[in-house]
Every structure is written in structure tokens, then in C-alpha cells.
């Protein structure tokens, strides 16, 4: 029987010690970083720890609003004679490609191992574990999460259709810029040669481009001739 989202939310809470107190692991990295910056090293950490341990029933603050109810089960029936096809390392690499849906910008592996206030990434991790145990390959698991959440479940869009524009546009822009710069440099060199030919013979003349000496124009001309 599969767990409902409500069951998952109740079962995944902040880590606690044997006496029921909040474990130090429940202090999120965001609060630790703020403590170091605000309280000055060890004093700041002590302040953050006291606040976290003193507010056992209050969720820790998060830089972005956390949507703890964003989890939706991603389930598939196990394949016949299912055998896991992914190693633990393969599974972790796969989780780096799936985005946590709690509202952060992290993948589920990073979120569940660094932010212990999140209830969504551990639930999504359990779905990955069930799909791996059910004999599904990495791409099949990705497709299952896309079917549940849409392409927002992926940390990077698929390389297909219009998504190719996001991968190709930066390279095209850089190549276009390089071509435009080359054309501009050649234009300046031609103008410099024309100006030099128009000067009286034997006269040094002055640079025709503001802030550019005749010697610098000559070096640019030689470099462009060698390149051509």
C-alpha cells in the first residue's frame, strides 16, 4: 500500500534525540550561515543553536517560502522479476537531475542532505528508491517525475524541441560577437591605412583614431595582415 502525501508529511520531521528534543542536525545550514555572519563566529553559532533548541515546535526559517505540501507521489508498479539496475552512486547522480519541489532551487539530493527542515525532498527520495527497486532505469525514472510534476521536475530541460535554443543560444551569441569584433578591427585597419596613404610623404602626421598612436595602428595593421 502506498503512502499518502499527508502520511509522508507526518512521518518526515526534524531529527530528534532519544528524549524528544530537537537534534542539532535539525539546525538548517541557512541559520548556521546567518549565525556566523551576524553573531561573529562561535558566539553566533551558540545563539543560533539556542534559538533552534528552544523552538521545538516552530519550523526553522527559510530564505524562500517552503511549499511542504508540494509533494505528489510518483509511483509505478514494479517490473516483473524487478532487479535494481542503478548503483547507489548512479541513484545519487540521478537525484542531482531532479529538482526539489519545496520552492528552493536545489536538486533533491542536495536539499535532503543539507536542509533538514524540508519534508518534500525526503519524500521524493523515497519515490526514487521505490522506482530503483522496481527495476526502472534512470531515464524511465526521470520520465515518471516529469509525468507527475511536469518539466519543472528537471534541473535542466531536455535537449529536444525548443529547449535546444537554451543550449545553443549562448554559443551562437559568442560566435556572432567574435565575427562582429573581427569585422570592426579590419574596418579600423583599412581606415588607418587610407589615412596613412593620404598623409604627405615623409610626414609623421597624427593618429586618425582618438587615443591611438601611429605605432599602435601600425602594429594592428601588421597583425591583421599576418592573420589574413
Note the pLDDT tens digit of each residue in 97-127. 999 999 999 999 999 999 999 999 999 999 9
Per-residue pLDDT at 60: 43
Percent helix, strand, coil in the chain (nearest 5)? Answer: 60, 5, 40
Predicted TM-score of the model (pTM): 0.47
Specify whether the CB–CB gap between 169 and 175 falls below 8 A: no
Note the pLDDT tens digit of each residue in 135-173. 999 999 999 999 999 999 999 887 655 554 555 567 777
State the cell numbers at 105: 532551487
Amino acid at each position: 500500500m502506498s503512502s499518502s502525501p499527508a502520511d509522508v508529511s507526518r512521518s518526515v520531521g526534524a531529527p530528534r534525540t532519544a528524549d524528544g528534543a530537537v537534534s542539532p542536525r535539525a539546525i538548517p545550514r541557512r541559520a548556521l550561515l546567518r549565525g556566523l555572519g551576524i553573531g561573529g563566529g562561535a558566539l553566533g553559532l551558540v545563539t543560533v543553536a539556542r534559538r533552534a533548541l528552544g523552538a521545538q515546535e516552530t519550523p526553522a526559517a527559510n530564505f524562500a517560502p517552503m511549499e511542504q505540501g508540494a509533494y505528489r507521489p510518483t509511483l509505478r508498479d514494479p517490473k516483473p522479476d524487478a532487479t535494481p539496475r542503478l548503483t547507489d552512486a548512479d541513484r545519487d547522480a540521478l537525484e542531482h537531475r531532479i529538482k526539489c519541489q519545496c520552492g528552493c532551487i536545489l536538486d533533491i539530493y542536495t536539499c535532503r542532505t543539507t536542509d533538514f527542515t524540508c519534508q518534500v525532498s525526503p519524500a521524493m527520495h523515497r519515490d526514487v528508491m521505490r522506482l530503483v527497486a522496481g527495476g526502472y532505469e534512470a531515464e524511465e525514472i526521470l520520465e515518471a517525475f516529469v509525468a507527475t510534476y511536469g518539466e519543472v521536475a528537471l534541473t535542466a530541460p531536455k535537449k529536444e524541441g525548443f529547449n535546444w535554443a537554451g543550449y545553443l543560444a549562448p554559443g551562437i551569441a559568442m560566435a556572432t560577437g567574435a565575427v562582429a569584433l573581427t569585422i570592426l578591427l579590419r574596418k579600423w585597419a583599412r581606415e588607418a591605412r587610407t589615412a596613412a596613404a593620404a598623409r604627405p610623404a615623409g610626414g609623421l602626421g597624427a593618429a586618425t583614431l582618438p587615443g591611438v598612436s601611429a605605432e599602435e595602428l601600425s602594429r594592428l595593421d601588421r597583425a591583421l595582415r599576418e592573420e589574413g
